[in-house]
Structure 1
Amino acid sequence: MKDLGSQVAYWDSVGVTKTFTHPVNPDWLEGVSRTARILDYGCGYGRVMAELGEHGFTDVSGVDLSPGLIARGRQLMPDLRFAVLKSPPELTYPPASFDMVLLFAVLTCVPDDDAQRALVAELSRVLAPGGLLYVSDMILQDDERNQGRYAAHAQQFGTPYGVFATDDGAVCRHHDIAELRALLLGFDVVDERQIDIVTMNGHRSQAVQLLARKR
């Protein structure tokens, strides 16, 4: 699980057909310049990038480890700037290249603690001082179905509590909110909200969004 590219086969096959749903909160964008340099890390097929364009943002780039999802995005929205991640989490951009980075439903796809920390460190590297990191991700669910699979996966594989396998083959992680906050070393959390979403597999679930500023 430490290899961020270990699930490329899933995202290039089953995953490329999914619909992603985490919403953008426009209130959190009000104070961001429309010419801000924005990166959507784990952009999938560009859904959030297109929404940012609808809000008037003119300098938006997206990267994803799945060539299949990137190909879907280029077909659907050829005017957007997409790139495939060759060696995630490493980015080819120099330090301080962006004023804002979005990380929507990505940490749930990176179950390993060390891999998550490496990803956030890389995003911090490419963010300018004072830049914003906008995280949207899944939190621990309290229903019997989810708690059962958390416990089963932890017992079988020794993974952190909250890791599980979906019926169609993805390995995902739901988080204690405190775990997500703890990842953001070097950032100040300036806003937080819990939201209801429908997952890519059609289940209604709880998620959290964090807006954090790089020190």
Structure 2
Amino acid sequence: MSDLNHQAAYWDAVAETKRFTHPLHTPWLEGLDRDAVILDYGCGYGRTMSTLEQHGFGNLFGVDTSPGMIARARRLHPAMRFEVLTTAPTLPCPDASIDLVVLFAVLTCIPDDQAQRRLIGELCRVLKPGGRLYLSDLLLQHDQRHRDRYTEFGARHGGSTYGVFRTADGAVCRHHHDDWFTDLLTDFTPVDTRPVTVATMNGHEAAGVQILAGAPTSAVPRKVERPGPTS
């Protein structure tokens, strides 16, 4: 499934039309210095970075694999720093250089377990000891429409991870068991969790979760696999 973890062509095609809605829970930012270094991984068109700026944060950096999304972000927010990420998940950041990573509706775009683990490993590398990861993503939906979509995709793609599906306009997305995040963030310290209900990019209501977690306070050995060719 590795080719489905890199869908920049899809995001380029819809870059001017999609609207993202995951809310920024500002109480989780209390106590964070306004000069803190904040990375928005999968920043899209810069919506969350704009909200952070409105709350007084100025040291912001957004990356995304879609040149189309980055072009829109630069047009909407010309004073902000955005960069196309060409070797995802590898970041152009030194070790232990980031205070907060925002990861909003990114894992839903990465169907494969190991690809998600590589991303979290890279974020762990760039976060300062005790820095924070603010994750917002989508859970498994239990209505019949979604159950049918999960089952259909799995049947067509060799029993792929339950919760993966294809949208009507061609994106391959993933919804998650809630205990998956506990496994994925095993090296992090839980800080807080909150349920959210969001409108998806195609206008459907969906149940999600937001997680605030602390990076390890001592170095955790990491080997981040560099992306290889896809078939």
Same fold (TM over 0.5): yes
Give the SS at the match of 1:172.
strand
User: TM (normalized to structure 2)?
Assistant: 0.91
User: TM (normalized to structure 1)?
Assistant: 0.97
Identical-residue share of aligned pairs (%):
56
**Is the 2:5–2:112 contact (alpha carbons within 8 Å) kept by the matching residues of 1?**
no
**Is the 2:46–2:77 contact (alpha carbons within 8 Å) kept by the matching residues of 1?**
yes
Q: Aligned runs of 1:1-215 on 2, under 5 Å?
A: 1-3=1-3, 6-157=6-157, 158-215=159-216
Per-residue displacement from partner, 1:65-118 (whole Å, max 9, x unpaired)? 000000001011101110000110011111011000000000000000000000
**Is the 1:14–1:168 contact (alpha carbons within 8 Å) kept by the matching residues of 2?**
no
Q: Which runs of 5+ in 2 are unaligned?
A: 217-231
Offset, 1:17? 1.6
Runs of 4+ in 1 over 3 A off after TM superposition: none
Per-residue displacement from partner, 1:114-142 (whole Å, max 9, x unpaired)? 00000000000000000000000000001
Task: Measure the CA separation in 2 of the matches of 1:4 and 1:162.
Answer: 14
Instruction: Tell me the equivalent position of 2:219.
Output: none
**Is the 1:129–1:214 contact (alpha carbons within 8 Å) kept by the matching residues of 2?**
yes
Write the letter of the residue equivalent to 1:161: Y
When structure 1 is superposed on structure 2, of 11-20 and 85-94 the one drifting more is 11-20
Task: Measure the CA separation in 2 of the matches of 1:17 and 1:133.
Answer: 28
**Is the 2:8–2:65 contact (alpha carbons within 8 Å) kept by the matching residues of 1?**
yes
Task: Measure the CA separation in 1 of the matches of 2:98 and 2:90.
Answer: 15
Offset, 1:14? 2.3
Write the letter of the residue equivalent to 1:151: T
Write the letter of the residue equivalent to 2:117: R
Write the letter of the residue equivalent to 2:176: H
Give the SS at the match of 2:211.
strand
Q: Which runs of 5+ in 1 are unaligned?
A: none
**Is the 1:153–1:159 contact (alpha carbons within 8 Å) kept by the matching residues of 2?**
yes
CA gap of 1:62–1:122, structure 2 versus 1, over 3 A, is same
